[in-house]
Structure 1
């Protein structure tokens, strides 16, 4: 079984942020399916491809921004003849500005909205793209030059960018395009169903093929082609993602969390959790508390 990659980040406690700037990769060099605790923004300059994100498969177009909350399974699948050029910004949530005094607004809104509505793609208008691209360039330059106050400058640029994206989504005049996921309808419905039932121990290839009314072989082939993952890997990734949330948000015992996520064997749960995250469930919980 191939486990989605655990992405490692350079650990600067004063600046928990990294940028992959104007990257252009052919399909064989694209990062495999992965999930991580950092929040992520991906801006597309051009090219062709698709983006598998949680339960949706999106087309990637010029000016698209992908809003990726932490702990969300995702993978870009660039076109072989015309690969995507994009910038990805990875950052810890504590970098995002919070509300002050009686103002209830927070720059976290755009990520909370994406997670709640399961809409992760934002099509930026032409008028906003120069600002987005200039801000990303300034952040990259600050990281490269590392002049006095560069960390503070990057904080300001990041929050300014997020503020603009939040305001865009809140404008009454902004028409969010229909997501219209890529792929056959039966597959998109199956992904939506799986998002709700992935912790059921009965969920597996045969179960999902029956739900989609297709053969197991056909489901495996199409799912792999459009997402870059196989069904078993994806189900386990969803379950471990849920386990991480329960470890952070509840005081439930690890054995109860394993059972609630569809694992009757606690040793197997420990084995999978460490493969996905690099640490044991107990160590992960302690790390979040500390």
Structure 2
């Protein structure tokens, strides 16, 4: 059976999701699956096994797993000692604005894990304690959602990635430092973010970038974790959310202004992203 692709519908301005101390039971686990996002998994309690890229790993408290984007994996928690774990999903674009183009590459740990085909990381006690503290802080931010919580989540993730960058087992001196994305892709992202309604189709975006649509699409998905259509639609929905709260315009006029041609399409996409309908969101039921 082919692995399934797990979908995510994240805010393109903040493509990160934290599932803090989730209890994993066998009956609730997905079969072999993959997704475009990068994933960190930290085991707090319990035992089990983890299938990652054709290999099985034992899981127990204190283990950290690095799962690069589009890597097939599956969890097998113990029936007697269910796994309690935190999973952090994110797109590389989240790190773009905060990562300098120098020798430091915050994603090197994932690249090294894939290259060495070693996805389980054994952490020294001081490093493990610092990463546990950062994960706990992320859980608190997700729960309380105080002003600035997104920035706090990003900072805690950066702290974890810096710890892993400095981990001796994840150093790979043969890999040169690389930037995250070429200038033409960054410019395309700016165009979409500036005007998600009038930015144009994949063919128009790739033509302006002077690359083929196929190459544009692959590079775009690697950076953002979404295809172009998903990203554009999500940016349009972000704008729709702002208009719903800041104007008295009708929902239909907002849908049209944000590039949605039909109310059904708008409602489906809006609920998929937010979990509520546009009217419920406007009324504060979210």
Distance in 2 (CA, whole Å) between partners of 1:81 and 1:144 is 28
1:123 aligns with 2:126: no
Cα distance in 1, alignment partners of residues 227 and 19 from structure 2: 29
Kindly report which structure 2 residues correspond to 1:102-113, keeping only aligned pairs within 5 A, or say none.
Answer: 103-113=102-112
Q: TM-score, normalised by structure 2?
A: 0.57
Q: Distance in 1 between matches of 2:72 and 2:43?
A: 19
Instruction: Report the Cα distance in structure 2 between the residues aligned to 1:100 and 1:289, rounded to whole angstroms.
Output: 24
Determine whether 1:148 maps to 2:150.
no
Distance in 2 separating the partners of 1:9 and 1:142? 21
Deviation at 1:137, TM superposition (A): 1.7
Identify unmatched segments of 5+ residues in structure 2: 172-210, 216-225, 233-286
Is the Cα–Cα contact under 8 Å of residues 14 and 151 in structure 1 kept in the other structure? no
**CA offsets, 1:263-287, max 9 Å, x none?**
xxxxxxxxxxxxxxxxxxxxx8654
**2:166 alignment partner, SS class:** helix
Match of 2:164 in 1: 165
Partner of 1:31: 30
Match of 1:22 in 2: 21
Task: Tell me how far 1:14 sits from its aligned partner.
Answer: 2.1
In structure 2, C-alpha distance between the alignment counterparts of 1:85 and 1:10, rounded to whole Å: 24
Work out the CA distance in 1 between the residues paired with 2:41 and 2:19: 9
Partner of 2:239: none
Give SS of 1:31's match.
Answer: coil
Q: 8 Å contact 1:107–1:166 — kept in the other structure?
A: yes
Backbone CA RMSD of aligned residues: 2.7
Q: Indicate the residue corresponding to 1:81 in structure 2.
A: 80
Would the aligned equivalents of 2:40 and 2:88 in 1 still touch at CA under 8 Å?
yes
Q: CA deviation at 1:56?
A: 1.1
Per-residue deviation at 1:84?
1.4
- TM-score, length-normalised on structure 1? 0.56
Q: 1:81 to 1:92 in 2, by over 3 A?
A: same
Point out where structure 1 has 5 or more consecutive residues left out of the alignment: 173-249, 255-283
C-alpha spacing 1:29/1:253, structure 2 compared with 1 (3 Å): closer
Return the alpha-carbon distance in structure 2 between the equivalents of residues 251 and 169 of structure 1: 39
Q: What does 1:190-201 correspond to in 2, within 5 Å?
A: none
| 8 Å contact kept, 1:33–1:73 | yes
CA contact (8 A) 2:164 2:170 kept: no
Query: 2:95: which partner in 1?
Result: 96
Pair 5,110 (structure 1): closer, same or farther in 2 beyond 3 Å: same
Query: Residues 24 and 83 of structure 2 are in contact (CA less than 8 Å); yes or no, is this contact kept in structure 1?
Result: yes
Deviation at 1:251, TM superposition (A): 5.2
Does the 8 Å contact 2:68/2:114 carry over to 1? yes
User: How many Å separate the matches in 2 of 1:33 and 1:118?
Assistant: 17
Deviation (angstroms), 1:127: 2.1
